[in-house]
Amino acid sequence: MSIEASPEVLEGLQHWRSLPPRQQPAWPDPDEVTRVTAELAGYPPLVFAGEADKLRHNLAQAAAGEAFVLQGGDCAETFAESTADRIRNKIRTILQMAAVLTYGASLPVVKMGRIAGQYAKPRSADMETRDGVTLPVYRGDAVNAHDFTPESRTPDPWRLQQAYHRSATTLNLVRAFTYGGFADLREVHQWNRGFMANPAYARYEVLANEIDRAMRFMRAAGADFDALRTVDLFSSHEALLLDYESAMTRIDSRSGLPYNTSAHFLWIGERTRQLDGPHVDLLSRVRNPLGVKLGPSSTADDALALADRLNPDNEPGRLTFITRMGAGRVREVLPGLVERFTAEGRTVTWVCDPMHGNTITSPSGYKTREFATVIDEVHGFFEVHHALGTVPGGLHVELTGDDVTEVLGGSEKVDDAGLARRYETLVDPRLNHQQSLEMAFDVAEMLRD
Ligand code: PEP
Ligand code: MN
């Protein structure tokens, strides 16, 4: 039997339309948007309510210190790079990091990609000027193309549909890789051995040898269970484009409740988390687990008010705060937020995004980050939680599985001149494959101590 939503619930799902828009594209023809979204609303869901419920449960475990979250992927996915090779490399990187973190934390790792839908970006300006020509900014492949021409930069709502199809094909590959043998822990461990063969990573040798011994012990003991062979890799993206997110919101026939079926987990960005804004309103009405990014200007009052709106029943796993304070601020700003939440008896999963508070411009003009600074914010996040006796629930990182050169430093010492070698991101700089694994080893060492 299928349960229907009440008229009030259905009406509530449209309320965002009456609120002041933020970070939405200036679509040239609103009627065209209506046609696109009407079509999208008839497409099959990309994820299922039961999967989102399972993730909510896993995130509740992370809030309680019984699991650790790893959320990673591109700043902005692109249609051109949603190829089998690129997706496989990204999944492999996340799985390799997760294996190391599982050992370091002695906890299950909840794996989430910024993947299969991360196609829209908030921007600090609406327009961009180059050589006297002014055009709309690039807002992600779901909105416009990156080339600096009037045709490319004009927002095209049919791109929302392409974003749906690219998300579907990406998710299909994610499901195939994670349930079809590719994610076997024994295989993943072999890849990590390949990484450790590089002398640049000698400082992690003790930990790598420990993991190796643990794997050999399991093999000798004949350990063979499903969790060794398959993993859940959940999808997530910033819920930015309300026309798309609204069209993908459906009523679950088992419960009669609304779910956003574009991804398992949706987050609200630092720029769109206004309490009276449309993003908070729409997402407050769906059952998915949700994230909110909190930057260094966040106050405990802001955070509590967001929790009142997004998690009024204080349900564990429902709300994740992804803090991105910057390495220089995290030790000073985070304690106040965490202390208030603890004092008020609120449940939240605290996750550290060490990327977005640490963006700089290199002397040669690249938008980049220093690996050491990124790691410093992670350390600060753990220090704060350890000092307060609260739970550091996980990491949120921008990464790719490829050998790009976008972030400075790491044991392979990418320098300013080296950035030019393979700087490919269209928006923010990502850790490359090696830097991602190095971060996992660094954090695993810290967790183990
Ligand atoms: C992002 O995650 O790419 C992003 C824009 O982050 P924030 O909202 O934290 O600035
Ligand atoms: Mn980013």
Q: How many CB atoms lie within 10 A of CB 205?
A: 12
Taking only Cα atoms into account, the Rg of the chain, rounded to an integer number of angstroms, comes to 21
Ligand 1 lined by 293 (C-beta under 6 Å): yes
CB atoms < 10 A from the CB of 335, how many?
A: 17
Q: How far is the CA of 425 from the centre of ligand 2 (A)?
A: 10
CB within 8 Å of 311: residues ≥ 6 apart:
290, 318, 319, 346, 347, 348
Nearest CA to ligand 1 atom 1: 75
Nearest ligand to the CA atom of 294:
1
Q: Which of 271, 294, 374 to mutate to test the pocket of ligand 1 (most atoms within 8 A of CB)?
A: 271
Burial readout 256-276 (b: 16 or more C-beta within 10 A, e: otherwise) = eebbbbbbbbbbbbbbbbbee
Pocket test for ligand 1, best of 267, 279, 323, 428 (most atoms within 8 A of CB): 428
> Residue 350 forms beta bridges with which residues?
321, 392
279 lines ligand 1 (CB under 6 A): no
Q: What's residue 34's pLDDT?
A: 98
In this prediction, residue 432 carries a pLDDT of 97
Give the H or E element holding residue 101: helix 84-105
pLDDT at site 22: 97
Mutate to test the pocket of ligand 1, among 293, 395, 406 (most ligand atoms within 8 A of CB): 293
244 alpha carbon – ligand 1 mean position (Å):
18
Mutation probe of ligand 1 site: the residue of 23, 75, 77, 359 with most atoms within 8 A of C-beta: 75
pTM to 2 decimal places = 0.98
Query: Is the minimum distance from the CB of 77 to ligand 1 under 6 angstroms?
Result: no
- CB of 114 shorter than 6 A to ligand 1: no
Give the Å distance between the CA of 127 and the centre of ligand 1.
Answer: 19
Quote the strand ranges of 226-274, DSSP E: 233-238, 249-251, 258-260, 265-268
- CA-to-CA distance for 33 and 378, rounded, in angstroms? 41
Find out whether 78 and 429 touch, Cβ atoms under 8 Å. no
CA of 237 to the centre of ligand 1 (A): 10
Q: What is the atom index within ligand 1 of the atom nearest the CA of 75? A: 3
- For residue 353, the ligand 1 atom closest to its alpha carbon is 9
Specify the ligand 1 atom closest to the Cα of 269.
8
Q: Is 316 in the pocket of ligand 1 (CB under 6 A)?
A: no
Strand bridging mode 249-251 / 233-238 = unpaired
Tens place of pLDDT per residue across the chain (449 aa):
789 999 999 999 999 999 999 999 999 999 999 999 999 999 999 999 999 999 999 999 999 999 999 999 999 999 999 999 999 999 999 999 999 999 999 999 999 999 999 999 999 999 999 999 999 999 999 999 999 999 999 999 999 999 999 999 999 999 999 998 889 999 999 999 888 888 889 989 999 999 999 999 999 999 988 888 999 999 999 999 999 999 999 999 999 999 999 999 999 999 999 999 999 999 999 999 999 999 999 999 999 999 999 999 999 999 999 999 999 999 999 999 999 999 999 999 999 999 999 999 999 999 999 999 999 999 999 999 999 999 999 999 999 999 999 999 999 899 999 999 999 999 999 999 999 999 999 999 998 87
Q: What's the complex ipTM?
A: 0.99
Q: Which of 302, 330, 190, 319 is nearest to 266 (CA)?
A: 319
Measured CA distances, 90 to 71, 142, 325, 333 (Å): 12, 20, 26, 32
